[in-house]
């Protein structure tokens, strides 16, 4: 087991490094020089001397390879550098933003897990019924609807029409207590969670249907066990494996996909930070943000793989 985990971890590291390299190259090769952006503050044309000074102060005068290696070395030591614009250490910024994004992703998961699993189980048990078809329709809609459109719809409906929930931000001014935070969480969490919920429902349904046709389920029924017990003890547990996989993937989606939701709901998370960073060509911020998100993605996948091995001994032994 330990060697399995170790092997998976060692596979994850190069992926993270590669991701960071790709992001680094994309940023540096894209048009739009941060030095020019900063110097454009000046009403008159800037001189070469000024250009060189700013370029040097941002560390952009060195060859790309050197910049990358320096950056990577610093990151390994836990130093993400300083933002070009905020003139502030990125580490503190990351922690803050990550907290907000995790809070949102967690909220979305809390919504999508029970909704998705319950929906899937119910629709598999009532296969072909109106209920099943209704759930299926909702699922298709849930996968199809763009997050931001859903977000705006929810804002208009619950924020402005019914006036039940706040329309944006993470706290109200002058409040910021737990209840206030939770109230702010509801709409963005639902917007973000609907997609994953739909996917989980869909997967749970098909996995359930498959399992319900298995011999051991038939045997259990033949023994005269009540339907609820058959579903709970015999079928559902076996459904969990594919469901865990998809949940793992969805966590990655929740972290990365939070970008649009964060923008629509003015949620002060990683997504918003990355979007701002891209607009301002704030290389260190974007690099750090993307690296952290991809690491989170890799780590969740890793955890899922390990969880598998725990849940299903066959996986552990077959590798």
Partner 1 sequence: MADQPAITKGILDKMVGRRALVGGALGTALALPLAPALTAQAAGDTRSARRAAPAQTEGKGGTIVIDLGSEVENLDPHQQLTGTTAMVNAQLFEGLVRFKPGTVEVEPCLATSWESSADGLNWTFKLSENVTFHDGTPFNADAVKFNYDRQFDPNNEYYPLGQWSGTYAFNFLSGVTVVDPYTVTFTLATPFNKFLERMNTMLFVSPAAVQQYREAMIEHPVGTGPYKFDRWDKGQQVVLSRFDQYHKYEPTLDQVVFKAIPEAGARAAALLSGDVHLAVEITPEIAEQLSTNDQFQVVTGPTGALWFLAMNVEFEAFKDKRVRQALNFAIDKETICSAILNDTASVGFGPLSPAYPDYNPKVEEYYSYDPERAKQLLQEAGYAGETIAFRTSIGGSGMLSPEEMATFIQDNLREIGVTTEIEVIEFVSWMDAIRNPQNELTVMSWNLAPIEPDLMFNGILSKASLPPGFNTSYWVNDEFEALIETGRSSLDPAEVTTAYHRAQEIVMEEAPIVPVCHRLQVYGVSKLVQNFTAQPSLEFLLKGVWVSE
**Binding-site ranges for partner 1 (CB under 8 A):** 30-33, 36-38, 40-46, 50, 85-88, 93, 96-97, 100, 148-149, 152, 155-156, 159-161, 163, 166-176, 263-266, 268-269, 272-273, 275-276, 278-281
Least Å from the CB of residue 296 to partner 1: 18
Least Å from the CB of residue 264 to partner 1: 6
211 and 239 Cβ atoms separated by less than 8 Å: yes
- Say how far apart CA 235 and CA 211 lie, in whole Å: 6
Nearer to partner 1, 54 or 135 (CB): 54
Whole-number Cα distances in Å, 13 to 9, 174, 299: 7, 44, 10
Least Å from the CB of residue 201 to partner 1: 26
Nearer to partner 1, 250 or 280 (CB): 280
Nearer to partner 1, 27 or 117 (CB): 27
Least Å from the CB of residue 1 to partner 1: 41
Coil, strand, or helix at residue 204? helix
For the CA atoms of 65, 66, 68, 72, what is the dihedral angle to 10 degrees? 140
- Say how far apart CA 304 and CA 294 lie, in whole Å: 15
Least Å from the CB of residue 149 to partner 1: 7
> Cα angle vertex 90, ends 274, 84, to 5°?
75
Nearer to partner 1, 58 or 118 (CB): 58
The closest alpha carbon to 278, from 53, 30, 13, belongs to 30
Least Å from the CB of residue 155 to partner 1: 5
Question: Residue 40: what are its φ and ψ, rounded to 5°?
Answer: -70, -5
Nearer to partner 1, 165 or 315 (CB): 165
The closest alpha carbon to 201, from 145, 155, 134, belongs to 134
Nearer to partner 1, 57 or 70 (CB): 57
């Amino acid at each position: 087991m330990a060697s399995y985990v170790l092997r998976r971890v060692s596979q994850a590291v190069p992926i993270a490094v590669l991701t960071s390299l790709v992001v680094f190259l994309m940023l540096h090769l894209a048009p739009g020089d941060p030095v020019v952006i900063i110097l454009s503050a000046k009403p008159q044309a800037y001189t070469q001397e000024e250009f060189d000074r700013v370029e040097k102060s941002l560390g952009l005068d060195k060859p790309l390879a050197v910049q990358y290696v320096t950056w990577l070395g610093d990151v390994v030591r836990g130093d993400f550098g300083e933002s070009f614009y905020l003139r502030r250490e990125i580490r503190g910024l990351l922690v803050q933003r990550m907290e907000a994004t995790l809070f949102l992703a967690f909220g979305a998961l809390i919504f999508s897990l029970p909704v998705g699993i319950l929906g899937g189980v119910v629709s598999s048990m009532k296969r072909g019924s109106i209920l099943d078809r209704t759930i299926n329709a909702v699922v298709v809609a849930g996968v199809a609807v763009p997050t931001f459109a859903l977000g705006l719809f929810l804002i208009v409906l619950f924020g402005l029409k019914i006036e039940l929930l706040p329309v944006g931000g993470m706290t109200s001014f002058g409040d910021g207590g737990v209840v206030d935070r939770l109230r702010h969480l509801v709409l963005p969490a639902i917007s973000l969670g609907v997609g994953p919920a739909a996917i989980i429902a869909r997967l749970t349904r098909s996995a359930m249907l498959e399992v319900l046709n298995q011999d051991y389920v038939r045997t259990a029924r033949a023994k005269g066990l009540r339907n609820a017990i058959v579903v709970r003890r015999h079928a559902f547990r076996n459904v969990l494996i594919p469901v865990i996989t998809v949940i793992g993937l969805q966590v990655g989606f929740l972290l990365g996909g939070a970008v649009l939701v964060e923008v629509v709901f003015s949620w002060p998370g990683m997504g918003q930070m990355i979007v701002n960073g891209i607009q301002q060509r704030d290389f260190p911020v974007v690099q750090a943000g993307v690296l952290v998100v991809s690491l989170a993605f890799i780590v969740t996948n890793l955890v899922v793989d390990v969880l598998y091995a725990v849940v299903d001994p066959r996986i552990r032994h077959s590798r």
